[in-house]
Structure 1
């Protein structure tokens, strides 16, 4: 997983990947730290999805640009369009089912 630190890097990440996922988190968010390994484990089933971690503590511009109001937050872009937005109480099972529907159409 790579960490992006500029809006330009985020734009390039979206453009260069068919499916791009952003994981927004904070050092002070205990749920953010415990959810990330579950998300990474789930993504093993979807090798074409590229994920990037965004630390909102140091990259505050991303919060405003992408309208992130609660943490943790997940945004999934497919072919440059935002398709999935989840935040706060994220069910890994529901997220996986949603991703699987789109993933099976593309690959």
Structure 2
């Protein structure tokens, strides 16, 4: 995952790619750091999704930009529009099911 460190970088990343997934976490969050490897492993099956990681400690304005109240947050954008949001407690099987439907509709 690419690390993004400003709102400008985030906006450019979303606008540049057709399928974008943002993983937003906070330093010191055990849930965030435990979930990240699972998400990265899952995304290996979805090569057309561009991924980025954002630490709220480094980009505090990200919370306001995306209306985030708890971390971790996974956001999937399709052509710049938010299509999927998972936050705090992410059930990986349900997340994969939703992601797979969206991905198949976009990629075929």
TM-score bin (small chain): over 0.9
What's the CA shift string for 1:27-86, capped at 9, x where partnerless? Answer: 120010010000000001100011111100121011111111001111110011000011
Instruction: Tell me which residue corresponds to 1:5.
Output: 5
| Structure 1: distance between partners of 2:35 and 2:21 | 14
Secondary structure class of the residue paired with 1:70: coil
Secondary structure class of the residue paired with 2:21: strand
Unpaired stretches in structure 2, ≥5 consecutive residues: none
Secondary structure class of the residue paired with 1:11: helix
Instruction: Tell me which residue corresponds to 1:79.
Output: 79
In the alignment, is the contact (CA less than 8 A) between 2:3 and 2:54 conserved in 1?
yes
Instruction: Tell me which residue corresponds to 1:24.
Output: 24
Q: TM-score, normalised by structure 1?
A: 0.96
Unpaired stretches in structure 1, ≥5 consecutive residues: none
How many residue pairs align between the two structures?
107
Q: TM-score, normalised by structure 2?
A: 0.95
